[in-house]
Structure 1
Amino acid sequence: MDPWIAARATAIAARAERELEALVGVSTPSGDVRGAQEAAAIAAALLPDGAEVEHVPCSSPGHAPDLVARLRGTGRGRILLLGHLDTVVAHDGHRPLEPDPDDADRLFGSGTVDMKGGDVLALGVMRALAAEPERFAEIALLLVVDEEWRVGPFAHVERFAGFDACLCFEAGELTTGGEDAVVVKRKAAGTVEVLAQGRSAHSGSAPDRGVNALLALAEAARAIAGCHDPRGPERLTAVPTVLHSGDAFNVVPAEGRLIADVRADRLEAFAAVLAAVPAQVGGATLTTRLAREWPGMDARAATGPLLEQAGALLGRRVAGAARGGASDASHFASAIPLTVDGLGPRGGAAHNPGEFVRVSSLRTRAEVALAVALAALDPGNGA
């Protein structure tokens, strides 16, 4: 392994648990301004000396600003380090960092792996490169506060147009053979929303005078689930996830809302899901739309030589992998061909109370991130 990578990764790992404890200690559900501001302040305090800090408008109205930090160097090459500070966990379900009493290699905590552990590694990579300004022209860090539930367009692609590489620090993984892997392919993702409008009536004395929105949404959910075809040509998954209808046990529900999560190789595949939902069911009117959409990402060809070079610097292979989950890396992939995701630490149970990060992976994944960063900044180095 390149000695510089080994030394810097060890230094990053030595601080990582303390830094993760500070970030995870702040509850940051998407949309919470105060929590996002506090987490951004912690991240800013962990930046290297000399970093230029800017708080820029978030893609989602009503959110705290996103954090942008920049380092100027004397070399060549510009890379973007990408992460998010928000989680899906509400304040009352937030879990601070704590060890697993049954497994010393696991640390529990809300957002540990999705993706505050990755944020800690991104900050560590930035500090490591700050000490070597001759290696780069610019290192930028973008930490957003709305990744987990953004419904509008992503605001930052143009800001970093022309960068040589985008490195995103979502959770890392291993291949089935135990090799380090990064994510170079992601599905497109979307959120289908169905609104139902029926007519209320007393469910005991006059049930047939009502038009049941709940039953209409149940049929819509069945229609969406019928599109599920993960082994088909588009690898389409269509999963109803949220249904709200009715306010009282003795009233025919007059309205309601259904949410479904859809994933496929292409955004265009979602049109078939929208078309499958009928306009009316049992007299109730259904209005269907794609409320949220994320592009797909396929950087396999562009990143192949980069990963070979990173592997040469590491002395071990770095594999390119595919993942079904959405990420902000997908937004940058169309503008920055060298986009690599999954550079964060390994862990599990993201979006769940038992979310955890693997302590042992903090150093090994820092090694991978540093190797990929060096390869992106100096093509041919280590080859």
Structure 2
Amino acid sequence: MSGWIAEQAAEITARAERELEALVAVSSPSGDVHGAEECISVASALAPAAAASERLPCSSPGHAEDLVLRLPGTGARRILLLGHLDTVVAHEDHRPLLREQDRLVGSGAVDMKGGDVVALGVLRALALRPHDFAEAALLLVCDEEWRSAPFTHVERFEGWDACLCFEAGQLTPDGDEAVVVRRKAAGTLHVRAVGASSHSGSAPERGRNALLALAAAAQAVAETHDPSGPDRLTAVPTVLHSGDAFNVVPSGGELFCDLRSDRTAAFHDVLGQVPREVGGAELHAEFARIWPAMDAREETAPLLSAAAERLGRPIVGAGRGGASDASHFAPSIPLTVDGLGPRGGGAHAPHEFVLRASLRSRAEVALAVVDALLA
């Protein structure tokens, strides 16, 4: 392992637990402006002194502005580091960081405040060698977990030399370090039902049951689920709201379904399976959001080979089903590598955690990729 990687990984590791504790202490569910602003204050305090802070309009209306920390240099390459500060955990369910044996447990620890901590450490390491890059920037967004509007930052960073995203890391089945260079497309299907209410005891036949219509739509979507098929399509109904009283035929409601596939075109096939009417209730289906697929395997292979040589152990380009903002940048920044954050588990669940030992090993991986980029 090169001396710069070892030295800076040790520096990142020495600070990582305290920094993660500070970020996780802030409850920051997507859309909460106060929580986002607190996280941005913490991240800004952890940034290198040479970094200029800039606020950009968030892609989602009503959210706090996103943060960009910029480092100027005198070299040639421009490198974008990427993360998000929002979580899916509501305030009442928030858990501050707890140390449980080899785990650092807390809300948003692995998705992705642990990755943010490593990214901030990498930015501090870059500040020590400004002659090797033209500009390095860390973009931290506030709406990754629940964005229904188009992502607004692609054009701003189009043509940069590399995008490094710090979502959670992983190992291969053989135990080698892996980064993410392939992701499925992701879609959120929204189905709205319009029926008619009536008394469910004395005159149920006068109603048009929106709940039953949505249930039929959910079943139709679920029947397209084909993870072993040519598109590796997963189609999962996830949220259903309908009805306000136990003795009234529901007149309206909505259904959300999560779709993942190698091709975005497969989502439109799912949309076509949703009936337009069930039992007199109308169904209106549309996409709340579609995120593109990402496949940077070919473009990143030489970079990962050079990084592995500097690290002294293999770095494998792998795939993952979950969505990430890296997918938005990959079409215009071919050298896009994701999954550079620490390893852990339980994302979006009460037991979410980061593996303490992985803070060091994943910092080494990220620094090796950066060192190879700057060579």
TM-score between both structures, scaled by the size of structure 2: 0.99
Query: Residue 2 of structure 2 corresponds to which residue in structure 1?
Result: 2
CA distance in 2, matches of 1:242, 1:71: 42
Q: Does residue 297 of the first structure (1) align with residue 294 of the second (2)?
A: yes
Indicate the SS of the match to 1:30. coil
Aligned mate of 2:267, from 258, 261, 270: 270
Q: Which runs of 5+ in 1 are unaligned?
A: 379-383
State the 1:136 CA deviation.
1.3
Query: Residue 34 of structure 1 corresponds to which residue in structure 2?
Result: 34
Aligned mate of 1:210, from 207, 211, 221: 207
State the 1:200 CA deviation.
0.4
Query: Residue 225 of structure 1 corresponds to which residue in structure 2?
Result: 222
State the 1:299 CA deviation.
0.2
Q: Which amino acid aligns with 1:96?
A: P
Q: Does residue 325 of the first structure (1) align with residue 332 of the second (2)?
A: no
- When the two structures are aligned, how many residues end up with a matched partner? 375
CA distance in 2, matches of 1:269, 1:306: 32
State the 1:267 CA deviation.
0.9
Query: Residue 236 of structure 1 corresponds to which residue in structure 2?
Result: 233
Q: Which amino acid aligns with 1:206?
A: A
Quote the sequence identity (%): 69
State the 1:129 CA deviation.
1.1
Residue deviations 1:2-41, cap 9 Å, x none? 1110111011000000000000000000000000001001
State the 1:161 CA deviation.
1.4
Query: Residue 74 of structure 1 corresponds to which residue in structure 2?
Result: 74
CA distance in 2, matches of 1:50, 1:312: 30
Aligned mate of 1:157, from 154, 159, 169: 154
Query: Residue 59 of structure 2 corresponds to which residue in structure 1?
Result: 59
State the 1:137 CA deviation.
1.3
CA distance in 1, matches of 2:206, 2:159: 62
After the TM superposition, which segments of 4 or more aligned residues of structure 1 sit over 3 Å from their partners? none
TM-score between both structures, scaled by the size of structure 1: 0.97
Are the equivalent residues in 2 in contact too, given 1:190–1:292 (CA < 8 A)?
A: yes
State the 1:76 CA deviation.
2.1
Q: Does residue 195 of the first structure (1) align with residue 192 of the second (2)?
A: yes
CA distance in 1, matches of 2:50, 2:124: 10
Query: Residue 124 of structure 1 corresponds to which residue in structure 2?
Result: 121
Q: Which amino acid aligns with 1:18?
A: R
Query: Residue 281 of structure 1 corresponds to which residue in structure 2?
Result: 278
CA distance in 2, matches of 1:22, 1:364: 21
Residue deviations 1:146-176, cap 9 Å, x none? 0000001001011111210000000000000
Query: Residue 99 of structure 2 corresponds to which residue in structure 1?
Result: 99
Aligned mate of 2:168, from 153, 161, 171: 171
CA distance in 2, matches of 1:39, 1:282: 49
CA distance in 1, matches of 2:276, 2:374: 53
CA distance in 2, matches of 1:300, 1:150: 26
Q: Which runs of 5+ in 2 are unaligned?
A: none
Query: Residue 89 of structure 2 corresponds to which residue in structure 1?
Result: 89
